Amino acid sequence: MLKPNWMTVLAGVAFGAATAISLALAGGVLYGEGDSLTPLLAIVGAAGSLALMYDESPKRWVLALYAALMVSSFMVISSHLRGDIDGAMVLAVAVVAVALPIGFDLVLSDLGRHLEINRRMGLGTLVSFVTLVLPFTALILTQAHQQARTEDEDLLQEVAQKIRREEGTLVVSELDPAKRTRLQNRVAIRSGDKTYRLSDAQFEKEVREYTVRKDTEKRGAKPTTDVSREAEERMRVILKLQGTELPNDVVLFSHRGPMTIVEKKVALQKGDDGAS
């Protein structure tokens, strides 16, 4: 039977490993989303606040890793359930993660006690985290990069097929509104020596109507045809190229921060205004 001393060490090892895995998974999610500034600041801010607030070691480091675990776990779960990350919610979870141990410590201080972290548990936590975080992060980011290339190639191919010149602007129509976040965070257009991110473009809703014919046949009755009109919500992206003439071709590329993932040169179609 394991002695209590070893039990606390193993608990620390498990906690450190869970934090390393959670941060690695969150890194993969952020890489896939393409917009990582707010969630990254939330993780660093929550962990850094607790590390600076307490001066006892290993208490400060264990609480910092606890905050990182809370925020990163929320990001992973939110991405899995919702399909994206709400930056405001991540910041709210970061605030709660910082407030909980402080509030608990204040309650204990009223009782004449203080929140204490076992030294063996703290050592096990730090050793486990430092050992595992880099290998897990490298593995997850490699997989995320491969998935990002596949997704971005499909996304750029769709944009390339639908982009055209129209009345002094570049227009991409007939897009799925669910792809708005990905377009804003990941896609940019290069024309000459200027780069335009789709986060600066104008997004408009458009409705596509179409006719549906349904033929039905019943035994002993004449065939009937039902005709109905249905509508589908689509999205239109309008990008103004400031101070430049409309080019004959552009370069579409996807990015994660300053790093380019996929790029594709596209000859522009003529719009309804007959631009050449």
- For a pLDDT cut of 70, what percent of the chain falls above it? 86
Question: How confident is the model over 53-64, as pLDDT tens digits?
Answer: 988 888 889 999
pTM of the model: 0.77
pLDDT of residue 245: 73
Q: Identify any residues that bridge with 228 across adjacent strands, giving them in sequence order.
A: 212
Encoding tokens for residue 254? 């996807």
Question: How confident is the model over 92-134, as pLDDT tens digits?
Answer: 999 999 999 999 888 888 787 877 888 888 899 999 999 999 9
pLDDT of residue 87: 83
Show the DSSP H helices in 163-276 as ranges. 180-186
Q: Identify any residues that bridge with 135 across adjacent strands, giving them in sequence order.
A: none
- Single-letter amino acid code for the residue at 157: Q
CA atoms of 241 and 248, how far apart (whole Å): 13
Residue of 134, 171, 126, 127 lying closest to 273 (CA atoms): 171
Give 20's contacts (C-beta < 8 A, 6+ positions apart): 128, 129, 132, 133, 136, 137
SS3 of residue 180 by DSSP: helix
Quick check: 16 pLDDT over 80?
Answer: yes
DSSP codes joined into one string, 87-115: HHHHHHHHHHHHHHHHHHHHHHHHTT---
Which of left, alpha, beta for 214 (phi over 0: left; psi -120 to 50: alpha)? beta
CA atoms of 210 and 229, how far apart (whole Å): 6
Handedness of CA 174, 179, 184, 188 (dihedral sign): negative
Handedness of CA 169, 170, 176, 182 (dihedral sign): negative
CA atoms of 25 and 76, how far apart (whole Å): 7
Phi, psi of 194 (to 5 degrees): -115, 145
How much is the mean pLDDT over the chain? Answer: 85
pLDDT of residue 269: 73
Q: How far apart are the first and last CA of the chain?
A: 81
Domain ranges of the chain: 4-148
Split at pLDDT 50, 70, 90, the class of 187 is: very high
Quick check: 226 pLDDT over 80?
Answer: no
Quick check: 35 pLDDT over 70?
Answer: no
Distance from the Cα of residue 158 to its chain's centroid:
20
